[in-house]
Amino acid sequence: MDNKILVYYGDYKIDDIYDINDFLSNLEIDLFKIQQLISTGKKNILRERYVILTDIYFLLFDPVPDHRSYGKLLFWGDIRQLTSSKGSSEHNNNLVLEWKNQEKSVISFELVFGAILVKDFLEIAMRKINKVKETFNIFHDELTRPNSEKKSYDYEKLVLLITFKEDLLEKNKSVNTMKELMNLYQSVIEILSERNDENFATYLKKLKTLMEDPEFQNQLGCNESSIETTDKVIKKDSFELSNSYYSAAHDEDKVVVKDD
């Protein structure tokens, strides 16, 4: 918070079962009981769903049969990446949501609202999105994209994030933090080199010192598996989808026949 940098810690696991009441204990989290409209051939199928909006995530759950207070996580999406469009005039309480990740993959689905109106849901979602954008100046996932997709990041933001990571490294020599710092150093060196700014030598020296650190070299060589696990903690995509998302409908699903 002090650095106004949003770094993801912890994770939600697709296909895991969650107690929905655990979310409701936090007054900042919103729950919506809705239906999802899925097209399968000549049929439209309605499935019951729980939607939860946390501070930074949209979560979609499939209620567990005979245990309605539990839900299986089908999808999580970064709330900042949420785009929407209303359905046709015949379905004015339907909402189409869409996400795009860094590989330009797209997922979209249609939700059918009942007791709560679409406009009310959008107002709550926009309030959360604006709160995140106003609270944080730097979003960690934007600074950890593959080299092929790097933008010309703001120099001040990179320097701020480097300072933040260097402070973390002083407290705890994490291999993951070291690797992140290496990437950040390389990014700022590229920017300064393009500007013909001699300050790039400062970060070049920092990068060299870090790479020559005996402890870093030792951990890098001996703990590749732990590095790989830690890397997964930081979300670099804007969504994750369950493989069972488009599976066959349950027997109790309501079927709506398409019009010709």
The predicted-structure confidence for 32-54, as pLDDT tens digits, reads as follows: 999 998 887 778 889 999 999 99
> Considering the entire predicted model, what is its pTM?
0.68
The predicted-structure confidence for 63-101, as pLDDT tens digits, reads as follows: 999 888 999 999 998 888 887 766 655 567 888 888 876
Q: Domain residues of the chain, as ranges? A: 10-137+238-257, 145-231
Most confident of 104-108, 150-154, 254-258: 104-108
Report how far Cα 148 is from the mean position of its chain's Cα atoms.
Answer: 20
Give whole-number Cα distances, 200 to 89, 164, 185, 188, in Å: 57, 19, 9, 7
Q: Who contacts 74 (Cβ-Cβ below 8 Å, separation ≥6)?
A: 14, 15, 49, 60, 61, 62, 241, 242, 244, 245
Report the distance separating Cα 162 and Cα 218, nearest Å: 23
**pLDDT given at position 11:** 77
Report the distance separating Cα 153 and Cα 121, nearest Å: 33
Q: Who contacts 248 (Cβ-Cβ below 8 Å, separation ≥6)?
A: none
**Token pair 């997964």 in the structure block, residue:** 232
Region 201-230: mean pLDDT is 70
CATH code of 10-137+238-257, in short, is: 2.30.29.30
Report the distance separating Cα 110 and Cα 121, nearest Å: 14
